Amino acid sequence: MRVYNFSAGPSMLPLPVLEKVQAQFLSYDGTGMSVTEMSHRSKPYEAINAEAESLLRELMNIPAGYDVIFVQGGASTQFEAVPLNLVKNKKADYVVTGIFAEKAFKEAGKFTDAAIAASSKEQGFTEIPALKKDMFRADADYAHICYNNTIVGTRYRGAPDTGALPLVADMSSMILSEEVDVSKFGVIYAGAQKNVAPAGVTIVIVKKGLADDPSPACPTMMRWATQIKEHSLFNTPPAFSTYMAMEVFRWLKGMGGVKAIQKINEEKAGMLYDFIDNSAFYTNKVKKESRSIMNVPFVSPSEELDAKFVAEASKEGLLTLKGHRLVGGMRASIYNAMPVEGIKKLIGFMKKFEKENK
Ligand code: PMP
């Protein structure tokens, strides 16, 4: 039996994609072999690599003046790759809106003069701070944001104005869930394991020119220019994860693309937030304008009830609802592949639990 898995990542993948991949597991597209066994220099894999890129370009409307690469190491490796590829004046400005944004800031501090332009730490990360371009140093090499904060459940709405500074965004937990104007960004990166594919592949989208002059200390494998030149095939790529990304991109295109999935995502999140806001039992502490449509944290009246909620929900096929250990409570991660029925079932359970425990 399949369950509704509310994990923050790795997360649910679309069922039709899993079924297709299962059917093709032993022999991909008539090749007589699995993608897991295939040379990355073979024609079938080169076709997968190329289609994954072209579909991502189409889905995100990525302008021609941007390179797209598929790399390894997860988003965490990009916390280091970003300063190593971009720093020239030896200054970088960070907006700290959560645990991963802070990790990115700390990594950058190993390679450059990293400063915090704004932070919502004092507010317990329950909001995205209002940003103005004069908060950033004019001679910084870039400004870094985390677009959707997975643990605390906040998100930006559009790209903030960072003046002339290239804007770098960690989009790990929202890529392809809502429309984004890529032309406003210098660099976008995202790990796959939420909206895209199993863990393994990391997407990096870089405006042409920005990757041309990395720090001499930047290791070959972290140089975006290395992978750009080789179309992500410099060394053995995370082939199976990229193949599944291609299948997820095909699925998303078939669903009507990012605009269509955004509408569904807003409906799903809207249902859940409306229910929480109208309940005297459950609370979401995030400022309304900053609420994520991918990660919805909430608490019941006590920690004991939170633990009971998570345990009983799992018996009903509603899995991985425990909040991150740093914030406690519950968190429902409702990425693209979470069906509306999963949200309805969760709300039904929340009602029942409230009635039995208030
Ligand atoms: N950034 C964000 C916003 C994340 O949610 C995560 C992982 N949950 C990471 C970075 C780290 O990603 P990875 O595990 O792929 O390094």
CA dist., res. 4 & res. 272, Å (int): 15
193: which 2 tokens? Answer: 């394991």
* Residues near ligand 1 (Cβ within 6 A): 8-9, 74-76, 100, 146, 150, 170, 172-173, 191
Instruction: Tell me the C-alpha to C-alpha distance, in Å, between residue 42 and each of 7, 33, 236, 249, 333.
Output: 35, 12, 12, 21, 37
Region 210-239: what's the mean pLDDT? 97
pLDDT score recorded for residue 89: 87
Residue 5: beta bridge partners?
319
CA dist., res. 224 & res. 263, Å (int): 33
Confidence of residue 107 (pLDDT cuts 50, 70, 90): very high
Q: 298 C-alpha to center of ligand 1: Å?
A: 21
pLDDT of 280 above 90: yes
- Nearest-atom index, ligand 1, CA of 73: 16
Q: What is the pTM of this model?
A: 0.98
pLDDT score recorded for residue 66: 98
Query: What does the mean pLDDT of the chain come to?
Result: 97
Q: What is the pLDDT of residues 135-167, one digit of tens each?
A: 999 999 999 999 999 999 999 999 999 999 999
Q: What 3-state DSSP class applies to 331?
A: strand
Region 205-228: what's the mean pLDDT? 97
70, 77, 100, 201: which to mutate for ligand 1, most atoms within 8 A of CB? 100
CA dist., res. 151 & res. 147, Å (int): 12
pLDDT score recorded for residue 131: 97
pLDDT score recorded for residue 1: 84
Strand pairing report for 295-298 and 330-333: antiparallel
Residue 298: beta bridge partners?
330
Give φ, ψ of 207 to 5 degrees: -65, 135
DSSP 89: S
Nearest CA, atom 5, ligand 1: 150
pLDDT score recorded for residue 306: 98
Confidence of residue 253 (pLDDT cuts 50, 70, 90): very high
- Judged by phi (left if over 0) then psi (alpha if -120 to 50, else beta), residue 218 lies in beta
Nearest CA, atom 3, ligand 1: 172
pLDDT score recorded for residue 57: 98
pLDDT score recorded for residue 138: 95
Enumerate residues 6+ apart whose C-beta is below 8 A from 97. Answer: 119, 120, 125, 128, 129, 145, 146, 149, 152, 154
Q: 9 C-alpha to center of ligand 1: Å?
A: 8
pLDDT of 326 above 90: no
Q: What is the pLDDT of residues 167-205, one digit of tens each?
A: 999 999 999 999 999 999 999 999 999 999 999 999 999
Q: What is the pLDDT of residues 49-102, one digit of tens each?
A: 999 999 999 999 999 999 999 999 999 999 999 999 999 989 999 999 999 999
